[in-house]
């Protein structure tokens, strides 16, 4: 039981780190495309790690399935939104950032 | 473990606060919508952590609704509410 606690804590903390990376990208990156890149990937990985950390502590398989389902839904919507926003931004003539 | 869950939830909440900066600052409305996407993902994570902390399974359903609503909001923004400044592709 103690080992499971350690693994879970580790996964949760790494997940929090990925969330921090996503937020930093959103705040610091120069244009909408790079922000999209930081946000939709890093946050989904962070959520996945947090879901894993919670799932190995869950008391029933039903809860595990539900957590995985939530993660899948968030990943799906993240991918859809990234495509839509990037396509829309290109169509509306927002310039791609160049050094 | 409870302490870790709550600390992590607080940390994610602070992340949301940092994301608010982009809402205030963002040069285009797309940047502001990206902050909404951040809010959706982070809110789901916070709700899952709270569900585990307080042992309330109902919060899982709330997280599911949040994930759905974030998607609907962003898609509605892109398809309907995004001002089309170029104008060469019509109203789409």
pLDDT band at B13 (very low <50, low <70, confident <90, very high): very high
Q: For the packed helices A32-55 and B29-54, what is the interaxial angle rounded to 10 degrees?
A: 10
Question: What would the mean pLDDT of A51-57 be, rounded to a whole number?
Answer: 92
Q: Is residue B39 pLDDT above 60, yes or no? A: yes
Q: Is residue B12 pLDDT above 90, yes or no? A: yes
Q: Is A33 on the interface with B (CB under 8 A)?
A: no
- Residue ranges per structural domain of chain A: 2-91
pLDDT band at B85 (very low <50, low <70, confident <90, very high): low
pLDDT band at B91 (very low <50, low <70, confident <90, very high): very low
CA atoms of B75 and B80, how far apart (whole Å): 8
pLDDT band at B86 (very low <50, low <70, confident <90, very high): low
- pLDDT tens for A17-44 read 999 999 999 888 888 888 998 888 999 9
Q: Kindly list the residues from chain A whose CB atom is less than 8 angstroms away from the CB atom of residue B49.
A: 50, 54
CA atoms of B92 and A4, how far apart (whole Å): 52
CB < 8 Å from B in window 38-97 of A:
39-40, 43-44, 46-47, 50-51, 54, 57-58, 63, 66-67, 69-70, 73-74, 76-78, 80-81, 84-85, 88-89, 91-94
Q: What are the Cα distances from residue B42, in Å, to A20, A95, B37, B82?
A: 10, 28, 9, 24
Q: For the packed helices B29-54 and B2-25, what is the interaxial angle rounded to 10 degrees?
A: 170
Q: How many CB atoms lie within 10 A of CB B2?
A: 9
pLDDT band at A92 (very low <50, low <70, confident <90, very high): confident
pLDDT band at B1 (very low <50, low <70, confident <90, very high): confident
Closest-approach residue (CA) in chain B for A45: B41
CA atoms of A2 and B5, how far apart (whole Å): 16
Put residue B64 in one of left, alpha, beta given phi > 0 → left and psi -120 to 50 → alpha: alpha
- B71 min Cα distance to partner chain A (Å): 5
- Residue ranges per structural domain of chain B: 2-81
């Amino acid at each position: 039981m103690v080992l499971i606690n350690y693994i879970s804590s580790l996964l949760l903390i790494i997940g929090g780190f990925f969330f921090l990376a996503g937020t930093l990208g959103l705040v610091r990156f120069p244009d909408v495309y790079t922000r999209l890149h930081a946000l939709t990937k890093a946050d989904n990985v962070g959520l996945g790690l947090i879901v894993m950390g919670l799932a190995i502590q869950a008391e029933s398989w039903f809860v595990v399935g539900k957590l995985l389902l939530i993660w899948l839904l968030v990943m799906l919507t993240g991918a859809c939104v990234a495509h839509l926003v990037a396509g829309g931004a290109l169509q509306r003539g927002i310039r791609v950032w160049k050094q | 473990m409870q302490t870790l869950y709550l600390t992590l939830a607080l940390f994610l909440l602070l992340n949301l606060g940092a994301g608010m900066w982009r809402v205030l600052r963002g040069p285009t409305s797309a940047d502001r919508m990206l902050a909404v996407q951040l809010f959706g993902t982070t809110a789901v994570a916070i709700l899952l952590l709270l569900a585990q902390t307080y042992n309330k399974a109902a919060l899982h359903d709330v997280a599911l609704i949040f994930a759905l609503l974030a998607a609907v909001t962003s898609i509605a923004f892109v398809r309907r509410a995004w001002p089309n400044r170029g104008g060469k592709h019509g109203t789409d």
